[in-house]
Amino acid sequence: MSTHEMKGKYVIFVFVDTETIDTKKILEKISRLPEVIEVHVISGQYDLLAVVNIELYGKAVFTSIQELAQETIEKIRKIEGVRDTNTIVPFYSVTKRT
């Protein structure tokens, strides 16, 4: 990857598994993190999906997006009621906004 490709904002997806306590309360706490742009209650193996903006401006080329996201992931994991997380880093994305 070139230096140019490592600059900018990237979006990662953090799936969150919660305890049986109030999922909406956990959603509200996650949504207060400045780098989190969306949080969704979802069905399936995980209870929540957090959409996180990661900024790569001024970061070393060898630093992975996962490494940069680690601080946010740790913040999410420290929230009471969060049991586990799974992070998805997309390689290529197309966004259609209306």
Examine residue 36 and state whether it is found in any structural domain, yes or no.
Answer: yes
Examine residue 68 and state whether it is found in any structural domain, yes or no.
Answer: yes
Examine residue 97 and state whether it is found in any structural domain, yes or no.
Answer: no
Q: What is the total count of domains within the chain?
A: 1
This prediction's pTM: 0.80
Examine residue 95 and state whether it is found in any structural domain, yes or no.
Answer: no
Q: Look up tokens 């706490």; give the residue.
A: 29
For residues 90 and 82, which has the higher predicted lDDT (pLDDT)? 82
Describe the chain by its helix, strand, coil percentages, rounded to 5: 25, 30, 45
Residue 97 per-residue DSSP state: -
Q: What are phi and psi of 31, to 5 degrees?
A: -65, -20
pLDDT at 69: 78
Examine residue 17 and state whether it is found in any structural domain, yes or no.
Answer: yes
pLDDT at 78 over 70: yes
Are 39 and 48 spatial neighbours (Cβ–Cβ below 8 Å)? yes
Examine residue 46 and state whether it is found in any structural domain, yes or no.
Answer: yes
What CATH number is associated with residue 27?
3.30.70.920
Examine residue 28 and state whether it is found in any structural domain, yes or no.
Answer: yes
Average pLDDT, the chain: 82
For residues 63 and 85, which has the higher predicted lDDT (pLDDT)? 85
Mean pLDDT of 18-25: 87
How remote is the C-alpha of 39 from its chain's centroid? Answer: 9
The whole-angstrom separation of Cα 65 and Cα 90 is 10
Examine residue 61 and state whether it is found in any structural domain, yes or no.
Answer: yes
The whole-angstrom separation of Cα 24 and Cα 9 is 27
31-69 pLDDT per residue, tens? 999 999 999 999 999 999 999 988 766 555 445 666 667
**Range(s) of the domain holding residue 27:** 4-88
- Split at pLDDT 50, 70, 90, the class of 6 is very low
pLDDT at 96 over 60: yes
